[in-house]
Amino acid sequence: MFNYVLKRILQLIPALLIVSVASFSIIYFAPGDPAETICTGPDGNTNPESVEKFRIEMGLDKPLHTQYLIWLNNVVHGDLGYSFRSEKPVFEHIITAFKATLKLSIVSLVVSLIIAVPLGILSAIRQNSLIDVSCMVGASLGVSMPNFWLGLLLMLLFGVYLHWLPVAGYGAGGDIEHIILPAITLGTGSAAVTARLMRSSMLEALGQDYIQTARAKGVPEQVVIGKHALKNALIPVVTMVGLNFGYLLNGSVVVETIFGWPGLGSLIVDSINMRDYMMVQGCMIFVAVLFVAVNMIVDISYKYIDPRIHYGAA
């Protein structure tokens, strides 16, 4: 087990190098210059002298590969650098934004599981019934409806017409009132996919011989479904939910932006717009590590839900 985790961590290194080189060069070659963006005064004029001074201060006058190596050296020493804009450490910004994203991700995940798992199971055991058909039509709608549109509709209904919930914003540290609408927006989208998978893997499990065995023992139908079938049917669902959670954690750019949620997604978009190189780089590395870590946790959790999987020393 320890060896397995170690191996996965070592595999992370080349991935991170590739991610950082790619994002470093893309933002470098993109038009726009952080020095000019930042040194532009409120009147729209730029002072060439201060632009030049900023460039030298920030090391932006050096060639690309030198900049990259300096950055890499700092990262290896645990320093993600400072934001050009706020002059505060990048890491501090990321952690603040990540807390907001984490909160939203967890609530969205809970919303999606509460919807998807019972509906998926119900559709499977009542296959081709009215409940099944309406759930699956609902799921298809949920998959095809764009996030931002659903978000705007919810905002309009609950925020503008009914005044039940705030339209957008983070409130006092992301309170429950502010989190409901973005969480539902994100949660329903992934619920639709999860419900479909839950239904199909439940149907597959219910068709297996061991279900017949359980019934032949005189096991009541609720236990046949809730224990014998569900334990098997959940295996593929856990994979997908895990991956989904990985995506949620990286911050949903669109939903965070329309709801003004100060998460990772918004942070990345803002930093790109401001050509805040250090910030973009820091976010990219953070997101990559996060994604790999979530995948690894999902893989390790298999061991606990599927006894056939074993991570040996090899």
Partner 1 sequence: MNLLEIINLTTHFQTPDGIVQAVDKIDLSIREKETFGLIGETGCGKTVIGLTIMRLLPPTATVGGEILYNGKNLLEVSETGMRKIRGEEIAIILQNPTTSLNPVLKVGEQIAEAIRLHQGLNKHDAKKKAIEMLDSVRISSPSRRANEYPHKFSGGMKQRVMIAMGLACDPSFIIADEPTKGLDVTIKAQIVELMKEMTEHKAMLLITHDLGVAAEMCDRIALMYAGELVEYAPLDEIFEKPLHPYTIGFLNSLPKKGLVPIPGMSPSLINFPDGCRFHSRCDYATGECKQKHPDMVEMGNGHFVRCFHARS
Q: Is the dihedral of CA 254, 260, 265, 268 positive or negative?
A: positive
- Taking CB under 8 A as the criterion, the residue among 215, 226, 273, 297 binding partner 1 is 215
Q: Using the rule CB under 8 A, is 122 a contact of partner 1?
A: no
How far is residue 193's CA from residue 138's CA, in Å, rounded to a whole number? 11
What are the CA-CA distances from residue 271 to residues 162, 244, 245, 265, 277 (Å)?
35, 25, 24, 10, 7
Closer Cβ to partner 1, 91 or 302, answer by number: 302
Q: Residue by residue, what is the 3-state secondary structure of 70-108? A: HHHHHHHCCCCCECCCCCCEHHHHHHHHHHHHHHHHHHH
One character per residue 161-200, x = contact with partner 1 (rule: CB under 8 A): ----------------------------------------
Q: Using the rule CB under 8 A, is 126 a contact of partner 1?
A: no
Q: Using the rule CB under 8 A, is 129 a contact of partner 1?
A: no
How far is residue 256's CA from residue 84's CA, in Å, rounded to a whole number? 23
Q: Using the rule CB under 8 A, is 214 a contact of partner 1?
A: yes
One character per residue 230-249, x = contact with partner 1 (rule: CB under 8 A): -xx--x--------------
- Taking CB under 8 A as the criterion, the residue among 77, 308, 312, 314 binding partner 1 is 308
Closer Cβ to partner 1, 118 or 220, answer by number: 220
Rounded to 5 degrees, what angle do the CA atoms 183, 259, 172 make? Answer: 80
Closer Cβ to partner 1, 163 or 308, answer by number: 308
Q: Using the rule CB under 8 A, is 306 a contact of partner 1?
A: yes
- C-beta of 235: minimal distance to partner 1 in Å? 8
DSSP 313: -
- C-beta of 7: minimal distance to partner 1 in Å? 24
- At 246, which helix (H) or strand (E)? helix 230-249
Enumerate binding residues for partner 1 (CB under 8 A).
208-210, 212-220, 227-228, 231-232, 235, 305-308
